[in-house]
Amino acid sequence: MLAMRDAHVLSIGSISVEFRVRASRAPEPGESLSARDFAVVGGGRAATVALVARQLNAPVQVIARIGDDPLAEIALSPLRDAGVDLRGTRRVLGAATGSSVVWVRSEQENAVLSSSEANSAWSQEDAELVEKAVADSPSGSVVVPDLQLPGFIVERAVREAHRRTLSVVLHPNPPEAVHEDLFEFVDFVSPNRVEASQLTNVDVEDRRTALEAARRLVSRGARIVALRLDGRGVLFFDGRDDAFVESFAPSVTDCPGDAEVFTAALSVALREGTTSLEAVRFASAASFLHAYRQGARPRALVRAEVNRLAFPERG
């Protein structure tokens, strides 16, 4: 895989702080429980995409909004330490940094409460800055918008990316944020089974129904669909050919952060000029390794490990 010189992954969306604890169950109303493995870590969709892309050796820029409180540094520190370009990330005066409380019950099962705070503070002036960041991105860059952003921000980003012929990778969550013509500006859309069902009115349960849903998404303008079927694998469809990338371990189901890991790895592979189907296999391998490294203190991905799992024939 050979990346275009200077091309980067442009992640546009949320940055937050996560407060994580592990407990065997949730407390009942009025009950207090002991927990363990408390951790305070950086989080948010755009931040997670950025960190994973950096772990996989891609240059990354993040466009986001944070508060002017002490939590901001906790959110930014891991990104800065990873070498993420934060010039497009601004503090919002008088706002708190977005935050989440994450209850970890098992290695693949979490529950989350989130407060968006500064992540919701976007203006029309910000839309112009986002558009300029996309316009200034080097050829071959990949744009990853977060649908938790206001719709006018997402639209400016994807329209400018389309004009520049930059690839756009979209995780369509929440599905209700997908407006009618958005897919016309998207190259890769990667829903899970539930999201695909909501977007297409197809009850996605298996490969056959996944392909039907993928066909409908392509008919709405998406160029390529990578539909994630829980722990079973990923249905690939490019408008002509379809393929199924089997899960590396069928027992592993989607877990929090899986969509962002898949999206980040897919973006990295596309930036490097790999084929679309190989990019899906690479992203699937990254997601698998991520799922086995979950917990209160998740471990970073290692590029060499992802490569060996995705392409064992390459040695």
Q: Is the dihedral of CA 50, 52, 53, 55 positive or negative?
A: positive
- So what's the pLDDT on residue 79? 96
What is the rounded average pLDDT of the residues 94-111?
A: 82
Q: Which two tokens stand for residue 9?
A: 């992954």
Q: Which two tokens stand for residue 95?
A: 């706002």
For the chain, the average pLDDT equals 91
* Third-level CATH fold of 13-25+37-314: UDP-N-acetylmuramoyl-L-alanine:D-glutamate ligase (3.40.1190)
Domain residue spans of the chain: 13-25+37-314
- In this prediction, residue 295 has a pLDDT band, given cuts at 50, 70 and 90, of very low
Is the full-model pTM beyond 0.85? yes
- Asked whether residue 300 carries a pLDDT value surpassing 80, the answer given is no
- Asked whether residue 122 carries a pLDDT value surpassing 60, the answer given is yes
pLDDT single digits (tens) 152-206: 999 999 999 999 999 999 999 999 999 889 999 999 999 999 999 999 999 999 9
Q: Can you name the residues that pair with 251 across neighbouring β-strands?
A: none
- In this prediction, residue 296 has a pLDDT band, given cuts at 50, 70 and 90, of very low
Instruction: Spell out a b/e string for 224-246, using b for 16 or more CB atoms within 10 Å of the CB, else e.
Output: bbbbbbbbbbbbbbbeeebebbe
Q: Can you name the residues that pair with 52 across neighbouring β-strands?
A: none
Q: Which two tokens stand for residue 76?
A: 């930014």
- Asked whether residue 103 carries a pLDDT value surpassing 90, the answer given is no
Which among 99, 97, 47, 87 is positioned nearest to 67, based on CA atoms? 97
What is the rounded average pLDDT of the residues 246-265?
A: 76
- Asked whether residue 255 carries a pLDDT value surpassing 60, the answer given is no
Query: How far, in Å, CA of 252 to CA of 278, rounded?
Result: 21
Q: If you search the block for the tokens 């989350």, which residue do you land on?
A: 112
